[in-house]
Amino acid sequence: MSGNSFGKLFTVTTFGESHGPALGCIVDGCPPGIELSEADLQADLDRRKPGTSRHTTQRREPDEVRILSGVFEGRTTGTSIGLLIENTDQRSKDYSNIAETFRPAHADYVYSHKYGFRDYRGGGRSSARETAMRVAAGAIAKKVLADKGVQVRGYLSQLGPIAIDQARFDWDEVGRNPFFSPDAEAAEQMAEYMDALRKEGNSIGARISVEATGVPVGLGEPIFDRLDADLAHALMSINAVKGVEIGDGFAVVNQKGTEHRDEMTPEGFLSNHAGGILGGISTGQAISAHIALKPTSSLRLPGRSINASGEEIEVVTKGRHDPCVGIRATPIAEAMMAIVLLDHLMRDRGQNADVTTDLPVLADVPTQGD
Amino acid sequence: MSGNSFGKLFTVTTFGESHGPALGCIVDGCPPGIELSEADLQADLDRRKPGTSRHTTQRREPDEVRILSGVFEGRTTGTSIGLLIENTDQRSKDYSNIAETFRPAHADYVYSHKYGFRDYRGGGRSSARETAMRVAAGAIAKKVLADKGVQVRGYLSQLGPIAIDQARFDWDEVGRNPFFSPDAEAAEQMAEYMDALRKEGNSIGARISVEATGVPVGLGEPIFDRLDADLAHALMSINAVKGVEIGDGFAVVNQKGTEHRDEMTPEGFLSNHAGGILGGISTGQAISAHIALKPTSSLRLPGRSINASGEEIEVVTKGRHDPCVGIRATPIAEAMMAIVLLDHLMRDRGQNADVTTDLPVLADVPTQGD
Amino acid sequence: MSGNSFGKLFTVTTFGESHGPALGCIVDGCPPGIELSEADLQADLDRRKPGTSRHTTQRREPDEVRILSGVFEGRTTGTSIGLLIENTDQRSKDYSNIAETFRPAHADYVYSHKYGFRDYRGGGRSSARETAMRVAAGAIAKKVLADKGVQVRGYLSQLGPIAIDQARFDWDEVGRNPFFSPDAEAAEQMAEYMDALRKEGNSIGARISVEATGVPVGLGEPIFDRLDADLAHALMSINAVKGVEIGDGFAVVNQKGTEHRDEMTPEGFLSNHAGGILGGISTGQAISAHIALKPTSSLRLPGRSINASGEEIEVVTKGRHDPCVGIRATPIAEAMMAIVLLDHLMRDRGQNADVTTDLPVLADVPTQGD
Amino acid sequence: MSGNSFGKLFTVTTFGESHGPALGCIVDGCPPGIELSEADLQADLDRRKPGTSRHTTQRREPDEVRILSGVFEGRTTGTSIGLLIENTDQRSKDYSNIAETFRPAHADYVYSHKYGFRDYRGGGRSSARETAMRVAAGAIAKKVLADKGVQVRGYLSQLGPIAIDQARFDWDEVGRNPFFSPDAEAAEQMAEYMDALRKEGNSIGARISVEATGVPVGLGEPIFDRLDADLAHALMSINAVKGVEIGDGFAVVNQKGTEHRDEMTPEGFLSNHAGGILGGISTGQAISAHIALKPTSSLRLPGRSINASGEEIEVVTKGRHDPCVGIRATPIAEAMMAIVLLDHLMRDRGQNADVTTDLPVLADVPTQGD
C-alpha cells in the first residue's frame, strides 16, 4: 500500500536499485490456474532490455527472471508470486563523481532532500532499471488477459520531429525495428536521426501509444478509480513521462461536441474519439492511450548545476546512456496497461459478478492496421 | 478504498446522484487544530456552481454545504469530517425520455452494462454534479496547505481555438470574468464564441491549467505513487478530462535534452520545464499541470444512437446544459491538486519526519504573472 | 483508507460525534440490484438504539436513518450509498464539567494528547454513538448476504458471572428479552443482577457471540487478510472490546491435537472446534466468534483522576449511561461480521471466479439451537 | 493491498511456499537513515528457526536472510527493502502421499476449494514457514522502534496445563530455555510434558504474551484502525492463532467497572487493566497482548478424513513436526506487534505532527519483572 505498490486486487510491489544485487517484485492476487513459466516473462523482458541495439544504452544485462513462488506444476496457485532478476553488469565506477553532485533533470536533488541521502550509483531507485520488474509483472497480467481475449500492444508514434504515418501502419513492423515503430519508413529516418543525436551527445523525447482490444464493457470504478484515471496513474508513474492522453487527448480542446461524440448504431460505434472509455468505464471499444516521454537527462553535453555544498559546478555524464528512453518504454507502457486492466477486471467482477443484462453490445469501428 | 475514495492519509469519500436528495462526502485524516467553517468551503463552491452566468448550465443550485462533524469550536478535531449539500433544483421531467435510451458520448451505455441498470435522471452518479463535493473537500485541503504557505490556483488556458496570451497574463483577471481566464481580451473573445455556440446548440472543449507554489521539496512516493502519477490520477478522474500534462507536457516529445533540462545554479533553477516534479518528487519549484476537457456531450443537435433494445434512434437533449464544461472545471482541478498535495505532505512526514539535511534549497524561476 | 474506513471492496466509511448534528456513513462497492429501503436498516437500528429498556442508557434517540444515494427505484445502483442519522437528544449540559477533566478508563486523555484537544461532549467521536452507523451499514451487508443464503446472528453468552446454559439455548428467545440472551432463565437472573448493579452505580462486562451459517468454502485472503484476522480487526474495533476468539478460542491452549482437530467423513465434519475457519479460510462450517466487552467506564461511583493541569481530582459521571454495554453490542457485532463476510465474498470472486472444482463439499455438524 | 500485504505506511508484503525455492518479502516505507544489516535480522530469525531443540520440528533450515535493496552504506535509504531467504532443507518426499488427501485441521481442504488446486508439499503457502519473513520484517521495525525508545518483548505464558508463575517472572530466563518461558521452573515442567507428548505422537496448544514499553501516547486511528484492532488483525493472522486479548482480555467479562478502570493520579496510572490502549489509542502505558495457539494439526496419531474424491481415509502424518507451535511463535508475535506499532507511529505523525500540547504525561505502573 505504500509507494512501491500498485493495484487493488491484482497487486504489484517492487524493489531494487540500479546497482544493487537484484531487482524483484511480488505479484499478488493473480487468478489461479493460469499456465505460467519464466519463458512467458522473458519474452517481454527481452524486448525491454538494454544493449540490444546501438540506439540504446550499452549496459548489457541478461535480465533473466526467476519465479520463486506462486506457481506449481506450471500453473499459478493464487498465492503471491515472487520474481527476481539479478543485476550483473553494474559499473559503479562510472558514477563515482556523482556522489556529491546533483545532475540537472535527474532525481538526485529531490531524493537527497527527501531521504537525507541516496544510493547515487546509476541513479539508485530512481533509475529506469526498476521498470524491468514492471515488465515482468505486466507479462503475467498479459497472460491472464490473453486467456480472456484481451490483447495489449504498444508502439512508438513519434520520435522527436518524426511522426509515423498512419497510412503506412503495420503491426508486424513494430517488432522488426529497434524503435517499435509500425512505420518502416519512419524507422529508417529515426535511425539516421538517432545516429546524429548520439554524435552530438544530446537526447530527444518521444511519444508512445498503447492499445487494448477485446476489453469487455464495464471496467472502471467511478468516481475516483475510473479506468482512465488509473491508467493515467499507471502510465505517469513510468520514468520520464510528462503527459498522458486517452483517445483524442489534447485534440479535444478544439473539438466541437458534434465532432467528438462517438455516435452509436445497431451495427456499432461510428467512431472512437473517446479512446474506449466513457464516464471512466470501458465501452468495449479499443482503448487507446498515449504518453509523452521527456528526453533523457544524462548527456555528454555539459550542464550547469550545483553540488551538495551549493557550489556551482558543471556536469558531464559519461558512461552508457539512452539518447531516447522512448525506444524502450513501449513494453513498459504495455505492462502498466495490462496490470490496470486485469486489476479492474477483477474489481468489476468482485462487485458485479451477479449482474446480467440483455442489453446490446456494440461493435467497435475497425482499429488501425487491421 | 473503493472507487469512491481517494487518498491514503488525507482521504476523501463521496456519494450523491445528480437528482438524489443530497450529495455528501467524508474527509478523513485532516490534521487537527485547523480553523474551519462553512464559509471557508462556500467560497470555492460558489465559484463552481451552476447558474452563475449565461455561459453555463441554467440549473440553479445554491450548493450550501453543512459541516456535520469533525469540527468543534471552530477547529478541526482530527476526526472524520462529514459534509452535506442538499439538491434543490432537480427537474426530473427533463430526462424522462432518457430512461430507455443511451445518449451518445454519455455514460448511460456503460453504466447500464456495468450495473445492470442506472439512475438515469440527470446522468445519475456520472453527472458532473458530484464534483461539488470534491470542491468542498478540496477547500479543506487548501486551508491546511495555506497554513503551510502552499497556494493552489487554476485558470482556463484555452477554450476551443482561443488561447490566452501569456503576455497579458493577470491572476486578478481570473476572478473577474466567467471563464477563469487570466487574459481579459481573450475572455471577451470567448464570450462571443460561446454566444455563437449556444445559438448553434453545440459545445466545445477546453484546457485548464493549475499551479501550486510554496510546495516543499520532497513530496511524492516513488515508484508508483509519484507525485505526478497521483496528480494524473486525480485530474483524469474529473468528468470529461481526456489528457493530463505536467510542466511542458507533450511538448517534450520534440525537445532535446539540452532544451528540456532545468539547470541549477546557486541562485536557483534556470527554468521549469519539469513543472516542479522530477523523478516523481517535488523540487520546490512551482508545480504546473494542464488538463484537456472534451466538449459536453449533451447537445441540442441531434445525434445517432440506440435504445436499450438495440433499435436505432435519434437523440436530442433538451434542458439545461453546459456548452463548455471547462468553464467550471477550474475550481475542481484546484481542489484535486490540493487534495493530492496535502495527502503527500502527510505521507512524506509520516515516513521522513526525522530526516534533517543542510542541503541547499534552490529558488524557483519567477512564475507567470508575478 | 484512513482510520474511519473499513473494507477493501465493500467499504464502509463513517463520521459523527455523540453530540454533533448528525451521524453518517458511506457504503461503497455494494453489489447492484439488491432491494433496499430504509425499513431494512431501521430494524437493526431499533435493536441497537438506546432507551429501549430500563437496563440501558436513558438517552432517547429515534435513530431514524435516511438513504441519500445509491438506491434507485428500490434497488441498489452499485454507486456509493450515503446514509444519515440526525442526533436529536443530546444533552450537552450533562457533560459541562468534563471539558478540562480526564475521566478514568475513557478516551479523554488519549484523544486530547493525540489531537491536541477534543469534542468533550458525550465522549465526542469516541462515544459508542458512532456504532449506529456500523449497524446501518451492516444491515446492507446482511441483505446482500441473505440473498446468497448467508445468515449472521448474535447473542449474549455471558453477563458478568451469569453464563447462558447451552441446554436451554433457543434462538427465538434472543429477540424476546432486552439482553439478547438465548436462555430465558439466564435472562431473568441478568435482570435482577442489573437492577442491583444500577442501584450500586457500578457496571459489568459481557461476552457476545456471533455466528454465520451458509458461508461458502473459500473465503479469506491469506496470509495477512485471513478471514479470522479481518474478523478480529472488525470486532476488536468495537468500543469496549478487549478480546476476540474464533471457535474454541482460548480453550485451545489446553487442548490436545486429537481433541481439537475437526475430523472429516463423507457425511461431513465431525466437530467444529475451528469455528468454521482453517488456515484463515472458511470451511463452509458455521463461523463462530466471541468478544469480551469491558464494563462501562462511566460510573456514579467516584474515581480518582487528574485534570488537564495535572491536578488530582475525583470524577463522578452523572447523566444517562449503560451499566453494561454488552447488552447493545450484539447488533454491532453482527453488523461487523456481515461487513467482513461480504467484503471477502467479493474479494474471493474477484480473484477466483473462474475456479471450478468437483471437490466434495462437506456438511457441517448441527449447530446450537437447531 | 492484497492479502499478502500488511500495513498502511510501513508495509510488509511476502511470498514463498514451504517447499519452494525461496521465501521473500518487501518492506516498504521504512524511515531512512536507520542503520541496518543482515545481522540485525538474523538474530530474531535464529530465535524462530526450526531444528534448534528436540522440542521443535527437526527440519534444519539455516534461514539466512539477504538484503537485496533499500540499504546503502549500512543505512536504510527509504526505498523498498527486498529480503530473501533460500529454502534448503525441503524433503518433498515426506509429503507425497498428501497430494490427493485432505489432512484434518489443515488448510488442504480450503485451499483446494478456493484456488482449485494447491502446492501440497509441506503445506505450501499455508505452512508456518512463511512466518520467517514476518520475523525478518519485524526485526526492521524493531530497529526503528528501538531508536525511539520502544521495546517489544514476548514470552510463553502457558503451555497446555502449565502456566507460568508471575512471582517467578524473569525476563532474562526467556532466552535461556527453548520455550521462551520467563519462569525457569515452569520450563522444566514443560520439557517433561513435551517429551511425553512427543512419545504419544500428540500436540498441545499454548498462550503467548507480548508486551511493548516506551510507546508514546496517541497511537491508533479510530474508529476502525484502532491500535488494538490492528494488533488483533496482525496477531490473528499468525498461523494457528484462535484468540487475541488486550490487557485483561476475557477476564473483563466478570469485572465491575470499579475493578477494571485504571485510575489516574499525578504520580501516574494506578493499574493497567486496559493493557495500554483506551478508546483504541495508546495511553503510554505498557501495551500487553495475548494470543491462543491451537495444537499442531500434524500428528502421528491417525485421524479420520476424506480424499479429493470424497472417500473416507485415515491420515497419519509422518515427517518432522512441531508438537507445539507455540514454542516458536514468540518471535513472530513480537514481529507483528512491532510492525503495527511502527506503522501507527508513522500514521500518527503523518496526520498530527503539528500538534503540541502541555498536557501531563502520566507514568505507568511498574510492569512485570521490573
pLDDT tens digits for range D151-210: 999 999 999 999 999 999 999 999 999 999 999 999 999 999 999 998 899 999 999 999
- The alpha carbon torsion through A108, A110, A113, A119 (nearest 10 deg) reads -40
D298 appears as a binding residue in the annotation: yes
| Mean pLDDT, residues A291-315 taken together | 92
pTM: 0.96
Please list, residue by residue across C302-334, b when 16 or more beta carbons sit within 10 angstroms of its beta carbon and e when fewer do: ebebbbbeeeebebebeebbbbbbbbbbbbbbb
Q: Are C319 and C97 in contact (CB under 8 A)?
A: no
Domain positions in chain A:
5-352
| Mean pLDDT, residues A39-51 taken together | 86
Give the rounded percent of residues in chain B with a pLDDT score beyond 90. Answer: 78
Band of pLDDT at residue C93, cut at 50, 70 and 90: low
Q: Are B264 and A306 in contact (CB under 8 A)?
A: yes
Least confident of A10-19, A240-249, A308-317, C321-330: C321-330
Examine the pLDDT at D267 and tell me if it is beyond 90.
Answer: yes
B320 appears as a binding residue in the annotation: yes
- pLDDT digit string, tens, across residues C126-178: 887 889 999 999 999 999 999 999 999 999 999 999 999 999 999 999 999 99
Nearest residue of chain D to residue A8 (CA atoms): D1
Rounded distance between C-alpha atoms, residue A195 and residue D5, angstroms: 46
What is the predicted pLDDT for the residue at B150? 98
CB nearest A352 (choices: C1, C31, C347): C31
Residues in chain D: 370
Examine the pLDDT at C320 and tell me if it is beyond 70.
Answer: no
Q: Min CA distance, D259 vs chain C (Å)?
A: 9
- pLDDT digit string, tens, across residues D231-248: 999 999 999 999 999 999
- Residue D312: CB partners within 8 Å, gap ≥ 6? C265, C266, D304, D305, D306
CB nearest C222 (choices: D102, D126, D203): D126
Interface contact D115-C280, CB threshold 8 A? no
Range A5-352: architecture per CATH: 4-Layer Sandwich (3.60)
Rounded distance between C-alpha atoms, residue A108 and residue A119, angstroms: 9
Give the rounded percent of residues in chain C with a pLDDT score beyond 90. Answer: 77
Can you list the alpha helix ranges (DSSP code H) found in chain C?
A: 38-48, 108-115, 131-147, 171-174, 184-200, 227-236, 257-260, 326-352
User: Which residue did the predictor score with more confidence, D317 or D332?
Assistant: D332
Q: Tell me what the pLDDT averaged over chain A comes to.
A: 92
C54 appears as a binding residue in the annotation: yes
User: Is 0.90 exceeded by the ipTM?
Assistant: yes
Cross-strand pairs, C245: C290, D243
Interface contact A16-D68, CB threshold 8 A? yes
Examine the pLDDT at D221 and tell me if it is beyond 90.
Answer: yes
D320 appears as a binding residue in the annotation: yes
What is the predicted pLDDT for the residue at A59? 64
Three cell numbers, residue A301? 553535453
- pLDDT digit string, tens, across residues B319-333: 666 688 788 899 999
DSSP letter assigned to residue B35: B
Q: D67, D72, D344: which to substitute to probe chain A, counting the most A Cβ within 10 Å?
A: D72
Band of pLDDT at residue D134, cut at 50, 70 and 90: very high
- D75 conformational bin, left if phi > 0, alpha if psi -120 to 50, beta if neither: beta
Band of pLDDT at residue D278, cut at 50, 70 and 90: very high
| Mean pLDDT, residues B186-191 taken together | 97
* Chains touching chain D, criterion 3+ CB pairs below 8 Å: A, B, C
What is the predicted pLDDT for the residue at C94? 57
Q: Tell me what the pLDDT averaged over chain C comes to.
A: 92
Examine the pLDDT at D58 and tell me if it is beyond 60.
Answer: no
Examine the pLDDT at A34 and tell me if it is beyond 60.
Answer: yes
Give the highest mean pLDDT range of C112-121, C293-302, D202-211. Answer: D202-211
DSSP A96-152: TT-TTB--TTSSHHHHHHHHSS---GGGGGGSGGGHHHHHHHHHHHHHHHHHTT-EE
Q: Count the alpha carbons within 13 Å of C248 in the hemisphere toward its beta carbon.
A: 22
Three cell numbers, residue D189? 515442567
Q: Min CA distance, A296 vs chain B (Å)?
A: 6
Amino acid at C225: D
- The alpha carbon torsion through B329, B331, B335, B336 (nearest 10 deg) reads 20
DSSP letter assigned to residue B327: H
* Chains touching chain B, criterion 3+ CB pairs below 8 Å: A, C, D
Beta strands in chain A (DSSP E): 5-6, 11-15, 22-28, 65-67, 71-72, 75-76, 81-86, 151-159, 162-163, 206-213, 241-246, 264-265, 268-269, 277-278, 281-282, 287-293, 303-306, 312-315
- pLDDT digit string, tens, across residues A144-181: 999 999 999 999 999 999 999 999 999 999 999 999 99
What is the predicted pLDDT for the residue at D368? 59
| Mean pLDDT, residues C279-303 taken together | 94
What is the predicted pLDDT for the residue at B370? 46
- Contact list in C for residue B77 (CB cut-off 8 A) is 17, 115, 117-119, 124-125
DSSP C204-268: B-EEEEEEEESPPTT--BTTTB-HHHHHHHHHHTSTTEEEEEETTGGGGGG-BHHHH---EETTE
Q: Min CA distance, D191 vs chain A (Å)?
A: 37
Interface contact D242-C243, CB threshold 8 A? no
The binding site of A for NADP(+) consists of: 48, 54
DSSP D82-137: EEEEE-----GGGGTTTTTB--TTSSHHHHHHHHSS---GGGGGGSGGGHHHHHHH
Interface contact D16-A84, CB threshold 8 A? no
What is the predicted pLDDT for the residue at C73? 94
Tell which residue, B167, B128, B147, B141, has the closest CA to residue B322. Answer: B128
Interface contact A354-C31, CB threshold 8 A? yes
Interface contact D102-C264, CB threshold 8 A? yes
- Contact list in C for residue D230 (CB cut-off 8 A) is 233
- pLDDT digit string, tens, across residues B262-311: 999 999 999 999 999 999 999 999 999 999 999 998 888 999 999 999 99
Tell which residue, B10, C314, C112, C245, has the closest CA to residue D278. Answer: C112
